[in-house]
Amino acid sequence: MICVFQWLRKRQKPDQIKNLPQLIANLKTSGDFLHFKSEQTGMPYFIYYFKTLVNEQELSEKILAPMVKNKVSSLKEVKDTVPIPGIILTDDLSDICEKVMIGYLILRFNENSNECALIPSPTDISRKVSQPEVEFTVVGSKESFVESLDKNLHLIRKRLPVHELKAYEITIGKLTHTKVAVLYLDGITNQENIQIVKDRLKGIHVDQVVDNSVIMQLITDNKNSPFPQLVDTERPDRAASVLCEGKIVILSEGSPQALLGPTTFIEFFSAFEDYFVNWIIASTARLIRIFAVLFSILVTPLYVATLTYHYELIPSDLLSTLVSSRQQIPLPPILEAIFLELSIELLREAGARLPTKVGQTIGIVGGIVIGTASVEAGLTSNVLLIIVALAALASFTTPVYRMGNTIRLIRFPFLLFAHLWGLLGVVLCFCFLLIHLLRLKSLGKPFLEPIYPLRVKDLKDALIRLPNKFQTKRPIQLQTESTVRFEKDKNEFHE
């Protein structure tokens, strides 16, 4: 690894390039690097740029037109004439090299001097702000983050027009030079948390950062845990909302997802839509989701454990249904369950890899052909088919996609333990899971909060969401500098 870095470092600081003409000669080896000399009488000037990075319309209208009109003859005059802010006059080679790669064009009068003007005129070919697809809500904002950091920042600043909103920027990635922004509210967000994020970001030395997910993996507390320890969202309103709570938001160039932290386990089961609906409905939805997760993890292992070891637990009325559905099946419950669980995983994976239109046929193949046929062929019992299908369905209720993946994965060790030691094994495995969760941290803060450590005040927005009048304080978890969100007395809650 170290050799590669040293090699990269050598590549980035080319020893042989000592002056601007040499740099330009080097850049000219790329096919999309354009250069031309002005036809202007008097002082001729040279323009160099990457046509794929520069907005050529702006170049002719805002740069060339005024220059021709005013007959510019020096770099100083360029800065005064061209109506574009941010023009730099420099002779620093590394600066020139860096800027030309992000959409600046080089303008100079003397072909042998290092002196030149750098005029910013970058093209913007990013997608327009569109509807959220993963976290779509029927009510509420229909904007989602896009691949441009500036647009994403705009979407958040639009929602939080206060000067306390700070964006600390850092560039990560030896080759990708990805701009990463850490957003927080000054005077609210805990300084220690901000420092942790900054330090961890500074500690990243990789060649490429393709997405925010990479950053998430690199700064996460326990890298060997299947559980995500930072929430990712594509909703700017959610990002703005957690900023107000005192959380930190991490955005990066080229990624339509924001990372939110420090977070808790429970937050992965709260959808942002919970805040758009009445607290009773929101609380019910959250409880259903928590139930769905437990159901999804435990139901197949419980089936395996009960049918393998604990026949006496099955109610007499259910016994005949269960036994007669298993009568023709040659496989023990564990193989039957693994067979079905794997086929569901296969279907999901195939559906995720295929284009949308082909994906629809996968549903038909999975639902009808594999399900019905395996029951008819006597490979699985129809009771288990229902159970596995329900468990899969339940795992899709998790609002954060990453958590859904984790939940589907941790079912398998449970199955193994259920087969080996029955209910005792399930309990044992649950203990392991609980111990793991208790040890987890999100940006140094306990992950299972407010359940453990028990913070009763934070339960107001955890398993259930209490009405607004109870939400006057920020979560204790975040150790915010200012704890009061708003004063209850000043609100008229019409009681």
Partner 1 sequence: MKLPVLLCISILLLSGCVENSVVDDIQMVTVIGYEKGEDGKIKGIAVAPQFQADGTIQNSVYIEEAEISKEIRSQYNSESPKPFVSGKLQLAIYSREIAEEDGIMELTDTLQRDPFIGSRAFLAISDTDIEKMLSTNFGNADTGHFLHSLLDHNSNYGMLPKTNLHNFFYYYFSEGNDPFLPLITLEEGKVKIAGLALLKEDKMVAELPADDLFTFKILYENFSSNDSFTTDLGNGDHASIYNIASKRNIDLKMLKKNEITIKGKVLGVIKEYTGEELSAKVIDKIEKDMEAEVEAKGREMIKKFQEEGIDPLGLGNAVRSVTRGKFDYDQWKDRYQEVDIKFNMQVVITESGVIE
Q: Which residues bind partner 1 (CB under 8 A)?
A: 306-309, 311-312, 314, 316-317, 319-320, 322-329, 332-333, 420-422
Are the C-beta atoms of residues 419 and 250 closer than 8 Å to each other? no
Residue with tokens 């206060």: 162
- The residues with which 185 forms a beta bridge, in sequence order, are 165
Minimal distance, residue 438 CB to partner 1, in Å: 16
Q: Which two tokens stand for residue 92?
A: 């620093």
> How many CB atoms are closer than 10 A to CB 71?
12
Nearer residue to partner 1 within complex by CB, 148 or 308:
308
Give the DSSP H or E segment for 155.
helix 149-159
Smallest separation, CB 443 to partner 1 (Å)? 26
Are the C-beta atoms of residues 108 and 44 closer than 8 Å to each other?
Answer: no
Shorter beta-carbon distance to partner 1: residue 42 or 315: 315
In this complex, which beta carbon is closest to partner 1, that of residue 261 or of residue 422?
422
CB of 301 to partner 1, least distance (A): 15
| Number of residues that make up the chain | 495
Q: Which is nearer to partner 1, 124 or 312 (CB)?
A: 312
Residues contacting residue 252 through CB under 8 Å, at least 6 positions apart:
149, 172, 178, 179, 180, 181, 209, 211, 212, 215
Asked if residue 51 lies in contact with residue 30, where contact means CB atoms within 8 angstroms, the answer is no
Provide the 10 A C-beta neighbour count for residue 3: 7
How buried is 128 (Cβ within 10 angstroms: 0-12 exposed, 13-18 middle, 19+ buried)? exposed
Q: From the CB of 357, what's the least distance to partner 1, in Å?
A: 40
In the complex, what is the shortest distance from the CB of residue 128 to partner 1, in angstroms, rounded to a whole number?
49
The residue (of 209 and 322) whose beta carbon lies closer to partner 1 is 322
Residue 382 beta carbon to partner 1: minimum distance, rounded to whole angstroms = 11
Rounded distance between C-alpha atoms, residue 276 and residue 19, angstroms? 60
Alpha-carbon distance of 4 to 26, in angstroms, equals: 23
Closer to partner 1 at the Cβ: 70 or 328?
A: 328
Token pair 């392991």 is found at 432
Q: Closest separation between CB of residue 226 and partner 1, Å?
A: 15
**At closest approach, how far in Å is the CB of 266 from partner 1?**
27
Q: How far is the CB of 325 from partner 1 (least distance, A)?
A: 8
- Return the H-helix or E-strand segment holding 374: helix 373-376
- Tally the C-alpha atoms within 13 A of residue 331's C-alpha that lie toward its C-beta: 18
Alpha-helical runs (H) found in 13-92: 20-27, 56-58, 65-70, 75-81
74 or 325: CB nearest partner 1? 325
Sheet holding 178-185, edge to edge: 165-172, 178-185, 248-252, 258-261, 231-233
Minimum CB distance to partner 1, residue 339 (Å): 16
User: Cβ of 125: how many Cβ atoms within 10 Å?
Assistant: 9
Query: How far is the C-alpha of 228 from the C-alpha of 280, rounded, in Å?
Result: 28
Nearer to partner 1, 148 or 306 (CB): 306
Nearest CB to partner 1, comparing residues 64 and 383: 383
Give whichever of 68 and 323 is closer to partner 1, judged by the CB atom. Answer: 323
By C-beta, is 189 or 380 nearer to partner 1? Answer: 380
Task: Write out the two tokens for 314.
Answer: 């099955």
Report, in Å, the least distance between residue 444 CB and partner 1: 24
* Residue 300, H or E segment: helix 279-308
Q: What whole-number distance in Å separates Cα of residue 65 and Cα of residue 72?
A: 11
Adjacency order of strands within the sheet including 46-50: 33-37, 46-50, 104-108, 116-120, 88-90
